[in-house]
Structure 1
């Protein structure tokens, strides 16, 4: 596969960093929202419905701004691939969570920034990583793994067979690969020159069709125990997460180096734990603080500016 030549992106500035921290907080709170909606809507149906609602919102947003979504600009093939990868990520997460613990899933899902950096390094000119940046990714991943060490080591303690757990872990890795591959496709193909609205519309539309079809096949098209909290949680997922935050994410990808942005996603599960403490009364240990420090250190290494060589 040849390396794509795409418009030059710059390193994240303070504005982009603040946006990424905000996005990670939004994505971290999403886990609480999903748990709050599960009793009313089965997970796959919930994910498909979220994508469908957000796709309509993106269509309305694009139309209000005069951004064409259906013009033939050569992006259809790449858009369909990105949409299928987006849907595959959620399918793997859903199936994996039926076989392994949430903590183990978090560790394997958030291998995604590692795969993203590797894919962009290979296929996108301008996204090559220096040695110190690879070290930063390893440090950030180690910190995130440390934060979930208990669930990782004991997530299925006392269960008879390790095979379901291994299968769930494998699905977590596949979800991480699908997430990374989506970012690489967006940056390494003609989608790199497309609008953020159109890139997101492809993914939401395709994933809505795939996820709703899968929910139908699994007999999950049902609604029960609807509460105001469940409705608010679904609205949060569809409007705040799938529409606003993803639109901002793809806008950032049109302007900044993707590998340096993606490493911030290691903060997402840490925000998830923090919201669990604040909203669900869960606890955390001193090890979590050490893990957070490692993640922040890794992010700093990845985004450290290159040293300028002095002429002799």
Structure 2
């Protein structure tokens, strides 16, 4: 794969991931769809597209994935949707990123990974940025929405940890999306009395599932083998930034001093921890 193609696919993947926040927020704020229906349509659409991608590779999804990972995927998707009933897109994307990274870094510490002094400073800086974002005040995010997004981020962190080392991540993701469909169906059945849907909401939900989730993951997993580990970690730092820019341009959201300072602390702190870790791993291999 040429370097230019790698760059293009990487950029498209990051834009797709950031666009999930924008699509969900605009759908739940500006259309008639409810959070449960949005979640279910997103999961089903993602399952269909990823299954088609895997089928096009000459493989079958039937036995791919596992139920625990599918449950984590469903919890992420549901928490994500309900959080965006009240959160701005930029704040939600930052909270999600912080929770995912905190979960993965925390797990590493739990299993015995050692952080250097500089990494501990980065980790504390990121946590301080998260606390600063959540402290009460006029520009603080709604506590309920923030808690739901943090739960979604933890679930996605668990999902990512369970998927590390997968031989065919696209097929595994397709299988997990398929297995998440019954969970989404059960939630829809429980909440059917409050279900609401219109054509714009349906379009946004399908776009979120089929394009920014399904195709986005397929592009990312196709590009990932071409990237160095440190580069892959670095580019993911761009997702909250892209989401914030998109929310400002397309949704008219304003970037408050609180979110700007929190973004700098969280993204900078995580960058120090992750990139230092990858550099150390590279040195150990040589």
Task: Decide: shared fold, TM above 0.5.
Answer: yes
1:76-225 alignment, distance < 5 Å: 79-96=66-83, 101-102=87-88, 108-109=95-96, 110-122=98-110, 130-140=116-126, 142-143=128-129, 154-155=140-141, 165=143, 169-187=146-164, 192-219=165-192, 220-224=194-198
C-alpha deviation, 1:24, in angstroms: 3.8
**Residue in structure 2 matched with residue 278 of structure 1 by the alignment:** 249
Per-residue deviation at 1:222?
A: 4.0
d(CA) in 2 for partners of 1:216 and 1:201?
Answer: 23
How far apart in 2 are the matches of 1:56 and 1:118? 33
Q: Return 5+ residue gaps in structure 2 as ranges.
A: none
> Normalization by structure 1: what TM-score?
0.68
- Residues in 2 aligned to 1:258 and 1:183: alpha-carbon distance in whole angstroms: 15
Structure 1 residue runs of 5 or longer lacking an equivalent are 1-12, 157-164
Normalising by structure 2, what TM-score?
Answer: 0.73
The count of residues paired between Structure 1 and Structure 2 equals 273
> Which residue matches 1:161?
none
Cα offsets for 1:185-220 (capped at 9, x unmatched): 112xxxx34312221112211222211321221015
CA deviations 1:153-209 (Å, max 9, x no partner) are 6445xxxxxxxx4x655444332221111111112xxxx343122211122112222
1:27 aligns with one of 2, 13, 17: 17
| Residue deviations 1:23-54 (CA, integer Å, cap 9, x gap) | 44322222221233332422221121121122
How many Å separate the matches in 2 of 1:29 and 1:211?
22
Change (3 A) 1:173 1:280: closer
Q: Secondary structure at the match of 1:111?
A: helix
